[in-house]
Amino acid sequence: MKVSEEKRYENLSPFELKNKLIQMAGTHHERMMLNAGRGNPNWVAVEPRHGFFQMGIFALGESERKPHRPGLGGVAEKNGIAKRFDEFLNKNKNASGMQFLKKSFSYAYDKLNINPDDFVAEIVDAILGDHYPTPDRALSLSEQVVHKYLEQEMCANNPPAGKFDLFPTEGGTAAMDYIFTSLMENKLLHKGDTIALGTPIFTPYIEIPRLNDYKFIELEVKQDKNSDWQYPDSEIEKLADPKVKAFFLVNPSNPTSVSIHKATLDKIKKLVETRRKDLILLTDDVYGTFVNGFKSLAAVAPLNTILVYSYSKYFGATGWRLGVIAIHENNVFDKMIASLPAKDKDELRERYSTTVLEPDKMKLIDRMVADSRSVALHHTAGLSTPQQVLMVLFSLHCLIDSKGEYKKMAQDIVAKRFKTLYKALGVQHPQNQFDAHYYTTIDILALAQTRYSKEFREYLEKEYEPIDFVVKLAETRSIVLMDGGGFDAPNMSVRVSLANLYDEAYENIGKGVSALLAEYHDSWKSSNKK
């Protein structure tokens, strides 16, 4: 790729640039392409899926108990359904998924005190998908299960007092879309507001605020790569400025894949409890399950936090689009809406007047549900009910796993690849208990200086475009990595996904990066001899 073309592609999102790199890497048919660009995991949580499909078989049997016509079942009957389900489990006890279902439903009955007939009836009706989601925000009993899962995984089993209201969504990206929309519609954010972004960060969170819909002014709160990608106190202090209306972050971070230290969480907690009681915290915690003892901002500063979680990465379920928004029942957002000027409240009252009798009492999370369907289509809002069932089964899979075996396996997969990559690269892998190992960011310029010299680093910075390294990796070695600069990581850094290729591929990637850097160095030495 010519320099002029590289300059053009630098304006693209790294996700769009990746498509060009894949095209380039795929032109060399004699080489196998190694695409470590996207974060789609290459594992699948099998047990809860077995349970899902067995549950579907039982649900169809319940529908066929009272058919309307041949091939046309009826609505499942609630009376006695838990007993019939238990008989189904016992009759087919040796089939895959049956023991999982037995343990999972026993957990719901015994630990969550959910009535058996009520729970089985809700799951059966939901997996059949024969009714609109009711309630539209979340199925009632399913919400209790997901809530318990979030307490365990996002709050390290030490949740704050009270409870969170949940809104299951079509993945984490849909959750973010709904949140941005509702914050604007409910006058909690306005065009031209200053928002803080914890950088480096998932590129769309950089791009969304710049859209004409929002036109936010972005303030970077920067992680320090020399301190294990943590936020220095001086950066967190930026949030004390009252002109900063919101702080958006990914935790553990993407692309650096490191979670926030407890000391920093405590600093943010103190800030919102004292000087910035009105600060909006929006945290995307999809990778939290890959860090032992993980705690979300929602656990320490629940009143100010909007939590987004997705099941996609941990369970290998990106195609299912399973996300959830969590907002504490006693939050600052509802209070801020109640304190809006009369003119704003009149407008909002009119906006939501067709959905509830008393719009002024409508919570922000319920407004999000309405906004997700442009208010007028509120009656058809809500995540599809079969999707909510799988979300429940994924949650129960971890809730009944008292020894955390699934977590150990998922974490071991990415940790092994992480070590393999750095060994092949020829450098000591970072050692950080807060590292999720889902991605890693390699600073090519820093590596150039460490391995060779400061002068060589300066040569790379001066002579090459920031994306040149990822372009040449694709062109010459059919290795596709993401450009770290597009995430506001250092220029000429690369993000490697440790989730989507088999273990041995990461040895080839490490050797490929190292060999390409050596070629740049040879070119530099040759130019110096002339």
The tokens of 299 are what? 């656990």
Say yes or no: 328 and 413 in one domain.
no
Of 21-30, 59-68, 137-146, the range with the lowest mean pLDDT is 21-30
Are the beta carbons of 399 and 148 closer than 8 angstroms? yes
CATH of the domain at 476: 3.90.1150.10
| Residue 62 to residue 379: CA distance in whole angstroms | 27
| Residue 127 to residue 392: CA distance in whole angstroms | 11
Give domain status of residue 95, yes or no: yes
Find all residues with CB under 8 Å of 458, minimum gap 6, and list them. none
Say yes or no: 251 and 277 in one domain.
yes
Say yes or no: 394 and 497 in one domain.
no
The number of distinct structural domains making up the chain is 3
Say yes or no: 409 and 395 in one domain.
no
Say yes or no: 285 and 370 in one domain.
yes
- Is the backbone peptide bond immediately before 200 cis, with ω within 30 degrees of 0? yes
Give domain status of residue 468, yes or no: yes
Are the beta carbons of 248 and 196 closer than 8 angstroms? yes
Domain region containing 431: 3-39+405-529
The last residue of one of the domains, among 93, 128, 163, is: 128
Say yes or no: 165 and 237 in one domain.
yes
Average pLDDT rounded to a whole number, residues 294-299: 98
Say yes or no: 249 and 230 in one domain.
yes
Say yes or no: 238 and 115 in one domain.
no
- Tell how strand 305-310 and strand 280-284 pair up: parallel
Say yes or no: 176 and 87 in one domain.
no
Judge whether residue 159 has pLDDT over 80.
yes
Judge whether residue 323 has pLDDT over 90.
yes
The pTM for the full model equals 0.94
Q: Give the percent of the chain with pLDDT over 90.
A: 86
Dump pLDDT digits (tens) for 456-465: 999 999 999 8
pLDDT band at 30 (very low <50, low <70, confident <90, very high): very low
Dump pLDDT digits (tens) for 229-250: 999 999 999 999 999 999 999 9
CATH of the domain at 74: 1.10.20.110
The last residue of one of the domains, among 69, 96, 128, is: 128
CATH of the domain at 338: 3.40.640.10
pLDDT band at 37 (very low <50, low <70, confident <90, very high): confident
- Residues 267, 273, 278, CA angle at the centre, nearest 5°? 110
Are the beta carbons of 393 and 315 closer than 8 angstroms? no
| Residue 396 to residue 100: CA distance in whole angstroms | 9
Say yes or no: 358 and 261 in one domain.
yes
Dump pLDDT digits (tens) for 373-391: 999 999 999 999 999 999 9
Residue 202: per-residue pLDDT:
84
Give domain status of residue 133, yes or no: no
| Residue 425 to residue 440: CA distance in whole angstroms | 13
Average pLDDT, the chain: 93
- Is the backbone peptide bond immediately before 70 cis, with ω within 30 degrees of 0? no
Average pLDDT rounded to a whole number, residues 476-491: 87
Say yes or no: 177 and 320 in one domain.
yes
The last residue of one of the domains, among 399, 420, 444, is: 399
Give domain status of residue 134, yes or no: no
Give domain status of residue 226, yes or no: yes
Residue of 487, 507, 509, 508 lying closest to 496 (CA atoms): 509
Judge whether residue 343 has pLDDT over 70.
yes
β-sheet bridge partners, residue 217: 194
Residue 466: per-residue pLDDT:
87
Give domain status of residue 496, yes or no: yes
Are the beta carbons of 83 and 105 closer than 8 angstroms? no
Judge whether residue 203 has pLDDT over 70.
yes
Give domain status of residue 410, yes or no: yes
HEC states along 59-96? HHHHHCCCCCECCECCCCCCCCHHHHHHHHHHHCCCCC
Phi, psi of 138 (to 5 degrees): -165, 140
What is the number of other CB atoms lying within 10 angstroms of the CB of residue 268?
Answer: 23
- Name the region of 145 (left: φ>0; alpha: ψ -120 to 50; beta: rest): alpha
Say yes or no: 390 and 501 in one domain.
no
Give domain status of residue 148, yes or no: yes
Are the beta carbons of 225 and 443 closer than 8 angstroms? yes
Q: Residue 62 to residues 57, 78, 123, 304: CA-CA distances in angstroms?
A: 9, 10, 12, 44
Residue 484: per-residue pLDDT:
87
